[in-house]
C-alpha cells in the first residue's frame, strides 16, 4: 500500500499527470487485494479460519484508497454509487452513497456520461449549484466498476467573467472623474493661454481674466476628483484581488475580537465615543475602546477569543468599510455600535449598528451590487466609490460566512456578518 502511494506520488511529481498516477494507485490497491487473498488461501493456518472475502472487499479497499485523495472521485457499478471520497461528498452531498447515480447526479449531461464510452470527459455547468462548472471523466477499472473523476473548473470560468465585469464597470466609473479633471484643467490652461508657453513665462505673462477665487475652486475640483479616482482604483484593485482568491478559503486562525478592537481603535480618535465595541454575550457589558481604563474590564466570557479562520487584513477592511458607511450616511452625532457575540449554531456574529436614516426596503437586496447607490448624489458627495459593500460581500463569501442587512427607516441600519467559529465558546455557566 505504501509502495502504491509512493509510486503514485512519484508519478505525480514526474509530471505524468494526476490521472495516470491515480489509475496506478487504484490498480495497485486492487492487485494488493487479489495478492492478499492468494496468500491467505495458499497458506491457511489451522487454528484460524481465513476471513471470508467477497467482491465487496475490493470495493472497500478502493474506497479507502480514494478517500485520501483530494480530487473528488466516485466509484460506481453499473447503476449505483458505491463509494464517494470526501471531496465528492462535499460537492454532491452525503446522501449520494449507495444511491442510484441518476438520482445523485441529476444533471442531464452527467447522466448521459454514464452511457458514453469509457475515458470520455464532459463539462457540466451547474452540477453542484448554479454557476459552478465541473468536468467529469469516466474511467473503467474493472468489467463492472467505474471511477468518475470530478474536476472543479468554476475558478477558471469566473476569472474570465470577472475580467469582463471589471472592464465594463471600471470604464464607466473612471471616466466620470476623468472628464471633470480634463474639463477643468482645459479651462484653466485656456484662461492662461499657457498651452504653448514654457513654465517660467506663465508667471510673467499672465493674461487670463479668471480671478484667483475661481482658479482655486477649479483646482480644488481637480484635486477632489483625482482623489476620488485614487480611492476608486484602490477599491477596484481589492475587488479584483478578492475575486481572484474567491475559491481559496483562508485557513489561518485569528481572534475576531482582536481584529474588531484594532479597527475600532483606529476610529476612536475621530470623535468622542462615536464608535463603540461591545461583547454581546450572556452579560451585556460594553467595552468602550476609547476609554483605556475600561478596556480590560470585560466579563470573562466576553474575553473568550472568537476564533475564526480568516484573513486579518481583509476582515479589518470589512469592518472598516462597514464603520465608514455607518459614519458617512448616519447622523453625525449618533453613536455607531459594533457588537461581537457567538450564536448557538457555532457562528461568530459581528454587527455594526447605526442610528441613521435607514434604508428603504426596496434597496436592500441590491446594496451589495457594484456601484449601486440609493442616492447617487449624496454618496458621491460623501466620497463613496459605490464599492464598499460589494467588497464586504466578497470578503464574507470568501470566508464562507453570511451577510445580512436589516434596516428600518428613521431608526437605523444594522449590518450583521456571521463567520463560522473554529472553536466553540466555553459554556457561560462554567
Partner 1 sequence: MMTEHTVKAFDEDITRLRGLIAEMGGLAEVAIGEAMEALIKGADSVAAQVVARDKQIDALEQEVDRLAIRIIALRAPMADDLREVIAALKIAGIIERIGDYAKNIAKRTGKIEGRARFEPLTLIPAMADIASEMVHDVLTAYAARDPAMAVAVVERDAQVDAFYDSIFRNLVSFMVENPSTITTAAQLLFVARNLERIGDHATNVAEMVYFAATGDYLTDRADRPVT
From candidates 27, 32, 125, 141, binder to partner 1 by CB under 8 A: 125
Residues 85-114 that bind partner 1 (CB under 8 A): 92-96, 98-100, 102-111
Nearer to partner 1 by Cβ, of 110 and 338: the residue is 110
The residues near 339 (Cβ < 8 Å, ≥ 6 apart) are 277, 278, 279, 280, 349, 350, 351, 353
Min. distance of Cβ 94 from partner 1 in angstroms?
A: 7
Nearer to partner 1 by Cβ, of 105 and 254: the residue is 105
Min. distance of Cβ 104 from partner 1 in angstroms?
A: 6
d(CA 218, CA 184): 6
Grid coordinates of 275: 464608535
Min. distance of Cβ 355 from partner 1 in angstroms?
A: 23
Nearer to partner 1 by Cβ, of 102 and 217: the residue is 102
Min. distance of Cβ 365 from partner 1 in angstroms?
A: 5
The 385-424 site mask, x for binding partner 1 (CB under 8 A), equals ----------------------------------------
Could you give the C-alpha distances from 293 to 51, 102, 260, 270, 296, in angstroms and in order? 71, 65, 18, 19, 7
Query: How many residues line the site for partner 1 (CB under 8 A)?
Result: 30
Min. distance of Cβ 168 from partner 1 in angstroms?
A: 9
Nearer to partner 1 by Cβ, of 95 and 217: the residue is 95
150 binds partner 1 (CB under 8 A): no
Min. distance of Cβ 78 from partner 1 in angstroms?
A: 13
The stretch among 113-121, 128-136, 337-345, 421-429 that binds partner 1 (CB under 8 A) is 128-136
Q: 45-80 burial, b for 16+ CB within 10 Å, e for fewer?
A: eeeeeeeeeeeeebbebbbebbeebeebbbbbeeeb
Min. distance of Cβ 149 from partner 1 in angstroms?
A: 20
Min. distance of Cβ 105 from partner 1 in angstroms?
A: 8
Min. distance of Cβ 366 from partner 1 in angstroms?
A: 6
The 334-363 site mask, x for binding partner 1 (CB under 8 A), equals ---------------------------xxx
Min. distance of Cβ 106 from partner 1 in angstroms?
A: 4
Nearer to partner 1 by Cβ, of 19 and 111: the residue is 111
Nearer to partner 1 by Cβ, of 173 and 225: the residue is 173
Q: Residue 22 in contact with residue 149, Cβ under 8 Å? A: yes
From candidates 47, 117, 130, 332, binder to partner 1 by CB under 8 A: 130
Q: What is the 3-state secondary structure (H, E, C) of the chain?
A: CHHHHHHHHHHHHCCCCHHHHHHHHHHHHHHHHHHHHHHHHHCCCCCCCCCCCCHHHHHHHHHHHHHCCCCCEEEECCCEEEEECHHHHHHHCHHHCCCEHHHHHCCHHHHHHCCCCCCCEEEEECCCCCCCEEEEEEEEEECCEEEEEEEECHHHHHHHHHHHHHHHHHHHHHHHHHHHHHHHHHHHHHHHCCCCCCHHHHHHCCCCCCCHHHHHHHHHHHHHHHHHHHHHHHHHHHHHHHHHCCCCCCCCEEEHHHHHHHHHHHHHCCCCCCEEEEEECCCEEEECCCCCCCCCCCCHHHHCCCEEECCHHHHHHHHHHHHHHHHHHCCCCCCEEEEEEECCCCEEEEEEECCCCCCCHHHHHHCCCCCCCCCHHHHHHCCCCCCHHHHHHHHHHHCCCEEEEEEECCCEEEEEEEEEECCCCCCCCC
Nearer to partner 1 by Cβ, of 108 and 377: the residue is 108
Residues 362-381 that bind partner 1 (CB under 8 A): 362-366, 369
Nearer to partner 1 by Cβ, of 302 and 386: the residue is 386
Nearer to partner 1 by Cβ, of 127 and 275: the residue is 127
Min. distance of Cβ 84 from partner 1 in angstroms?
A: 13
The stretch among 1-9, 129-137, 188-196, 244-252 that binds partner 1 (CB under 8 A) is 129-137
**Which parts of this chain interact with partner 1 (CB under 8 A)?**
92-96, 98-100, 102-111, 125-126, 129-131, 361-366, 369
Amino acid at each position: 500500500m505504501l509502495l502504491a502511494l509512493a509510486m503514485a506520488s512519484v508519478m505525480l511529481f514526474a509530471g505524468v499527470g494526476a490521472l495516470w498516477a491515480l489509475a496506478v494507485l487504484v490498480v495497485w490497491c486492487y492487485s494488493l487485494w487479489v495478492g492478499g487473498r492468494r496468500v491467505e488461501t495458499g497458506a491457511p493456518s489451522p487454528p484460524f479460519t481465513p476471513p471470508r472475502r467477497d467482491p465487496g472487499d475490493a470495493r472497500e479497499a478502493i474506497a479507502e484508497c480514494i478517500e485520501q485523495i483530494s480530487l473528488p472521485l466516485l466509484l460506481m457499478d453499473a447503476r449505483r454509487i458505491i463509494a464517494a471520497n470526501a471531496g465528492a461528498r462535499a460537492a454532491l452531498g452525503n446522501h449520494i452513497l449507495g444511491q442510484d447515480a441518476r438520482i445523485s447526479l441529476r444533471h442531464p449531461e452527467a447522466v448521459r456520461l454514464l452511457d458514453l464510452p469509457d475515458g470520455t470527459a464532459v463539462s457540466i455547468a451547474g452540477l453542484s449549484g448554479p454557476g459552478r462548472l465541473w468536468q467529469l471523466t469516466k474511467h473503467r477499472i474493472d468489467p463492472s466498476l467505474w471511477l468518475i473523476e470530478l474536476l472543479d473548473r468554476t475558478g477558471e470560468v469566473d476569472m474570465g467573467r470577472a475580467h469582463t465585469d471589471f472592464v465594463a464597470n471600471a470604464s464607466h466609473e473612471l471616466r466620470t472623474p476623468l472628464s471633470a479633471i480634463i474639463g477643468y484643467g482645459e479651462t484653466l490652461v485656456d484662461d492662461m493661454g499657457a498651452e504653448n508657453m514654457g513654465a517660467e513665462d506663465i508667471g510673467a505673462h499672465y493674461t487670463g481674466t479668471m480671478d484667483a477665487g475661481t482658479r482655486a475652486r477649479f483646482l480644488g475640483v481637480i484635486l477632489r476628483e483625482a482623489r476620488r479616482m485614487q480611492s476608486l482604483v484602490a477599491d477596484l484593485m481589492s475587488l479584483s484581488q478578492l475575486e481572484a482568491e474567491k475559491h481559496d478559503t483562508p485557513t489561518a486562525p485569528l481572534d475576531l475580537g482582536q481584529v474588531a478592537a484594532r479597527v475600532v481603535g483606529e476610529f476612536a480618535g475621530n470623535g468622542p465615543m462615536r464608535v463603540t465595541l461591545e461583547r454581546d454575550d450572556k452579560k451585556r457589558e460594553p467595552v468602550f475602546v476609547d476609554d483605556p481604563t475600561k478596556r480590560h474590564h470585560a466579563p470573562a466570557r466576553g474575553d473568550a477569543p472568537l476564533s475564526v479562520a480568516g484573513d486579518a487584513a481583509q476582515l479589518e477592511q470589512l469592518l472598516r468599510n462597514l464603520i465608514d458607511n455607518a459614519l458617512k450616511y448616519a447622523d453625525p452625532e449618533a453613536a455607531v455600535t459594533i457588537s461581537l457575540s457567538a450564536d448557538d449554531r457555532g457562528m461568530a456574529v459581528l454587527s455594526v449598528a447605526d442610528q441613521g436614516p435607514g434604508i428603504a426596503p426596496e434597496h436592500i437586496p441590491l446594496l451589495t451590487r457594484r456601484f449601486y447607490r440609493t442616492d447617487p448624489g449624496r454618496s458621491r458627495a460623501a466620497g463613496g466609490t459605490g464599492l464598499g459593500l460589494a467588497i464586504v460581500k466578497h470578503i464574507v463569501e470568501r470566508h464562507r460566512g453570511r451577510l445580512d442587512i436589516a434596516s428600518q427607516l428613521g431608526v437605523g441600519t444594522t449590518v450583521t456578518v456571521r463567520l463560522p467559529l473554529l472553536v466553540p465558546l466555553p459554556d457561560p455557566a462554567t
